[in-house]
C-alpha cells in the first residue's frame, strides 16, 4: 500500500471512529439509563426505538443561536470547547484495536503521550469556567481543576505500574506482552485507573464540577448550541477514551479466542462493556461531596496505587 493511501485510510478510520463511537455511547446512555430507571427513554425520533434521537439533538444544537454572556472574555470562551474536545482526538489515534499494527499511529511512548494529553483537559475546564464571567461557572471550574489535578496522580501511578510490568511504554507493546494472570496481578491498578479515569472525565459520581443541583451546570452553564454540543461530545469521547485505555492497559486489548482475526472485535467488545459500566455508575451512585472526593483520591487511590507499584516490582523481580 502506498504511503498516502495508508495515511488516508488511517485518518478516515479515526474520523469515522471519532464520529460514530460517541454517538453509540450516547444512544446507549439514553437507553441504559431509561431501562435502569424503569422508563422507555426517547422513542419517537427515527421510528425504531428512537435511534435518531442524537442526530435530532445535533440538528437542534446547530440551529441554536450562538450566545455569549455580556462581560465574557469572548476569545477564550469560544476556544474552550475546542480545547476540551481536541486532546481526545489525539488520544484515539494511539489506541490499538488489533494485532499486527492495527492502530492509527504506532508510537514508542504512546502511554506517556496519552497521559500528557489527558492533562490538557484541565486547561479547557479553567478556560471555560473563567471566561463565562459567571460565579457558578468559576466555582465549577475551580472544583474541576482541583479534582483533575488530584486524580491525575493515581491515574499516572496506576499506568506506571502496568508499564513497569510490561517493560514498555508503547500501547501495542503492552498488549503484546499481556498475559491473563495479569488480571489478578494488576487488579488494584486497574481499579484505581478506572476510577481515576472516571474522575478525569468528570462522569458521575465524580461530577462535582458540574453538579446541576447546586451549580446550575458548572463550567458549562453559559454554553449553548454547537459549543455546548462540543462539551457533550467531549464527554462521550472521554468515555470511549477511558474505556479504551483501561481495555488496552489492563484487560489485554485484543487478546481472546481467534485474536489474529477477531482482535479488533475483542477490543471493541471490552470497550463496550466498560462503557456500559461507566453509564451504570451514573445511575447507581449519588454524587460524591467535594471532601469525600478528595479523601477518596488522596487517602485510598494514591496509597493503593503506590502499594501496587511495590507489588509490581516484587513480582517482576521474582520472575
Binding-site ranges for another protein (CB under 8 A):
71-73, 76, 107-109, 112-113, 115-120, 122-123, 126-127, 129-131, 133, 138, 141-142, 145-146, 148-149, 152, 156, 169
Question: Where would I find the beta strands (DSSP E) of 12-115?
Answer: none
Rg of the chain over Cα atoms, rounded to whole angstroms, equals 20
Name which of 58 and 69 has its Cβ closer to another protein.
69
* Beta bridge mates, 102: 98
- Least separation in angstroms between residue 150's CB and another protein is 11
- Least separation in angstroms between residue 265's CB and another protein is 31
* Beta bridge mates, 98: 102
- Least separation in angstroms between residue 113's CB and another protein is 5
- Least separation in angstroms between residue 262's CB and another protein is 31
Name which of 28 and 146 has its Cβ closer to another protein.
146
Distance CA 156, CA 197 (A): 10
DSSP code, position 219 = G
- Least separation in angstroms between residue 266's CB and another protein is 28
- Least separation in angstroms between residue 164's CB and another protein is 11
Query: Which grid coordinates are listed for 120?
Result: 490538557
Alpha helices in 132-258 (DSSP H): 135-166, 171-177, 182-185, 187-200, 225-250
Are the beta carbons of 86 and 123 closer than 8 angstroms? no
Name which of 52 and 145 has its Cβ closer to another protein.
145
Name which of 54 and 126 has its Cβ closer to another protein.
126
Taking CA 32 as the corner, what is the angle to CA 31 and CA 36, rounded to the nearest 5 degrees?
Answer: 115
Name which of 39 and 70 has its Cβ closer to another protein.
70
How far the first Cα of the chain sits from its last, in Å, is: 41
Name which of 129 and 234 has its Cβ closer to another protein.
129
Length of the chain: 319
Count of CB atoms situated within 10 Å of the CB of 13: 14
Amino acid at each position: 500500500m502506498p504511503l498516502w493511501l495508508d495515511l488516508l485510510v488511517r485518518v478516515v478510520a479515526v474520523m469515522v471512529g471519532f464520529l460514530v463511537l460517541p454517538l453509540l455511547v450516547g444512544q446507549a446512555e439514553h437507553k441504559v439509563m431509561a431501562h435502569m430507571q424503569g422508563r422507555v427513554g426517547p422513542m419517537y425520533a427515527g421510528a425504531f426505538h428512537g435511534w435518531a434521537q442524537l442526530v435530532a439533538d445535533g440538528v437542534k444544537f446547530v440551529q441554536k443561536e450562538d450566545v455569549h454572556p455580556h462581560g465574557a472574555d469572548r476569545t477564550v470562551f469560544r476556544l474552550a470547547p475546542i480545547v476540551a474536545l481536541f486532546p481526545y482526538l489525539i488520544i484515539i489515534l494511539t489506541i490499538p484495536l488489533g494485532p499486527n499494527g492495527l492502530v492509527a499511529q504506532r508510537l514508542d511512548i504512546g502511554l506517556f503521550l496519552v497521559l500528557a494529553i489527558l492533562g490538557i483537559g484541565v486547561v479547557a475546564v479553567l478556560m471555560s469556567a473563567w471566561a463565562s464571567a459567571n460565579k457558578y461557572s468559576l466555582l465549577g471550574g475551580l472544583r474541576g481543576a482541583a479534582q483533575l489535578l488530584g486524580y491525575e496522580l493515581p491515574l499516572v501511578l496506576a499506568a506506571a505500574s502496568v508499564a513497569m510490568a510490561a517493560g514498555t511504554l508503547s500501547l501495542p507493546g503492552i498488549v503484546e506482552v499481556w498475559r491473563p494472570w495479569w488480571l489478578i496481578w494488576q487488579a488494584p491498578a486497574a481499579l484505581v485507573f478506572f476510577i481515576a479515569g472516571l474522575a478525569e472525565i468528570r462522569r458521575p459520581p465524580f461530577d462535582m464540577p458540574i453538579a446541576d443541583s447546586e451549580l446550575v451546570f458548572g463550567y458549562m452553564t453559559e454554553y449553548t448550541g454547537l459549543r455546548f454540543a462540543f462539551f457533550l461530545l467531549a464527554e462521550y469521547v472521554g468515555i470511549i477514551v477511558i474505556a479504551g485505555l483501561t481495555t488496552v492497559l489492563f484487560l489485554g486489548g485484543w487478546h481472546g479466542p481467534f485474536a489474529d482475526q477477531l482482535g479488533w472485535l475483542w477490543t471493541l467488545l471490552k470497550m463496550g462493556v466498560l462503557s456500559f459500566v461507566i453509564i451504570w455508575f451514573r445511575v447507581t451512585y449519588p454524587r460524591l461531596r467535594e471532601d469525600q472526593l478528595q479523601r477518596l483520591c488522596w487517602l485510598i487511590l494514591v496509597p493503593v496505587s503506590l502499594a501496587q507499584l511495590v507489588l509490581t516490582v516484587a513480582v517482576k523481580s521474582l520472575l
